[in-house]
Structure formats: C-alpha cells, structure tokens
C-alpha cells in the first residue's frame, strides 16, 4: 500500500480569492513505513503574501522570486502522487488550492493536457482532521494538539513548513491508526512474538482450585431481610432484590440463602 502524506503553505486562506500555493511537501509511506522518498518544492506565487500567512510560515515573497511556478512542477508532482492514497490534515483546504492551481494551469494552456482536472480523480484521500474529530469529539484536533495527545515530538516546529508538517503528520497518522511497530517485524519475528504472547496468556490462567462456599449467618440473613423490607417499602413494592429472592424461592433455593464465593 502506497500513501503520500501531503501539506501545503499558501499566500492566504482562500483559493477562491486568488491566493496561491508557495510550498508543497510530500512524504511517501509504503506499507505504513517511511520509504525515504519525498517531494518538496517552494513556488513563486506571482502575488503578495498576506501578513497573517507570513507570520505562520515565515516565507516572504522576496525569498520566492527565483522559485519555479506551479506550472513548472505540476507534471513532476502528479507523477509522484499518482495512484496513491493521500493523507492530509484538513484535506479540503489543501485540495482546494491544488485544484485551483490545476484550473489556472488549464486556462493558461488552453486545456489540462496530461494533468487531471482535480486531485481526487487520480488519488484516494484520507482527511486526518475528520478522523481525529471522530476519535476525539469535542477536543482540539489541530496538529499540535494531536502531537501532544500521541506523544509526537514537535519541539523543533517553530514555524509551519510543508515538508516538516508532512513528516510530523505521518508520525501522528501512524500513531492514531495503530502505529507501525508490528509491521517492522519479519515473518519469523512475528511468529516468535505470537508465541510469546500465547505463552504469557497461558501463564496468566489461574490453576483450578476447589471453590470455597461460605453460607450467610443467621444474623446476616436477618439484617438482609430487614434491609430488603425497607427497600421494598421505599420502592412502592418494586424492589429488584425482592423479585430476585422470589425467583430464587420458585427455583427451590432456600429464601435468603445468600452465598459468598471465594477462591
């Protein structure tokens, strides 16, 4: 199974208002393990960057003047993404920007050519924000909160960055969906691990011993009857305990014959 953890940084929050992608980072997972392959590009957005966005990621327009445009890297990007499942935190945001870039590129070229009309036409998408909200309703589920919840070290994350955040999200996703420790085992190791768990489970079974049965004393039976009568009165004749005793009598067990079973 091939998955790509993807993140973007942008000039602002709304693609519909002309904001553009300025950084895209992707990390490849194969069978839930990092393959070591990644895709990372800074992009020239050909427009200003909102101050609020710059405060989040620290990327200035001047830094991007010599960077390639989306059109320059689009085919390489989709060659990397093709056929994978994308893992994205708040997927509608990132997909909205990539799809808008594809729309702009198609208009510029007079047609999309070899590129898809939208990301979902070539990739499955898993939104980790939706997944986190299902698993942790009513709690904060941004990336920092999830790192804290799952013990992921993000102390080196002073500013947002697409590749950095994709790497952190990969760790969060694996932790949130069961980790990868067993996947690191080869077949023989899995057999040894399974045998060890079976041995431990067998050792935890208590040996069979005669069961000691202690009968209630006359004083205990009298106290029980007195309390049951009070409960019967207080409940308007609907005391569950009394009903159980009546069933016990019907089943030929001596009334009030409470027993304590001790190993």
Cβ(23)–Cβ(41) below 8 Å = yes
156 is catalytic: no
Cβ(99)–Cβ(86) below 8 Å = no
> Which candidate, 60, 55, 34, places its Cα nearest to that of 45?
60
* 106/71 Cα distance (integer angstroms): 10
85-88, strands of its sheet edge to edge: 33-42, 21-30, 2-10, 85-88, 124-127
Task: Considering the candidates 38, 136, 160, 224, report the single residue annotated as catalytic.
Answer: 160
Element (H, E) at 71: helix 70-81
Tally the residues of the chain.
263
Cβ(84)–Cβ(122) below 8 Å = no
> Which candidate, 166, 160, 2, places its Cα nearest to that of 80?
2
* 69/59 Cα distance (integer angstroms): 15
For the chain, the first-to-last Cα distance in angstroms comes to: 51
Neighbours of 155 (CB within 10 A): 6
Residues with catalytic roles: 160
């Amino acid at each position: 199974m091939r998955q790509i953890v993807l993140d973007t940084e942008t000039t602002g929050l709304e693609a519909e208002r002309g904001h553009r992608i300025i950084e895209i980072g992707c990390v490849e997972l194969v069978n839930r393990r990092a393959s070591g392959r990644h895709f990372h590009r800074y992009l020239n957005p050909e427009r200003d960057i909102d101050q609020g966005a710059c405060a989040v990621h620290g990327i200035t327009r001047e830094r991007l003047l010599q960077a390639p445009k989306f059109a320059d890297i689009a085919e390489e990007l989709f060659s990397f993404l093709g056929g994978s499942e994308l893992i994205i935190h708040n997927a509608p945001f990132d997909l909205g920007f990539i799809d808008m870039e594809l729309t702009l590129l198609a208009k510029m070229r007079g047609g999309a050519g070899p590129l898809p009309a939208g990301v979902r036409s070539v990739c499955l998408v898993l939104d980790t924000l939706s997944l986190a909200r299902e698993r942790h309703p009513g709690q904060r589920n941004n990336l920092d909160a999830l790192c804290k919840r799952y013990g992921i070290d993000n102390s080196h994350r002073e500013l947002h960055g697409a590749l950095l955040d994709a790497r952190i999200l990969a760790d969060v996703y694996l932790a949130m969906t069961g980790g990868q420790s067993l996947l690191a085992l080869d077949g023989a190791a899995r057999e040894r691990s399974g045998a060890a768990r079976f041995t431990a489970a067998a050792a935890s079974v208590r040996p069979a011993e005669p069961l000691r049965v202690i009968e209630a004393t006359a004083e205990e039976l009298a106290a029980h009857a007195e309390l049951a009568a009070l409960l019967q009165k207080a409940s308007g004749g609907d005391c569950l305990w009394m009903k159980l005793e009546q069933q016990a009598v019907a089943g030929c067990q001596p009334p009030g014959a409470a027993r304590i079973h001790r190993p």
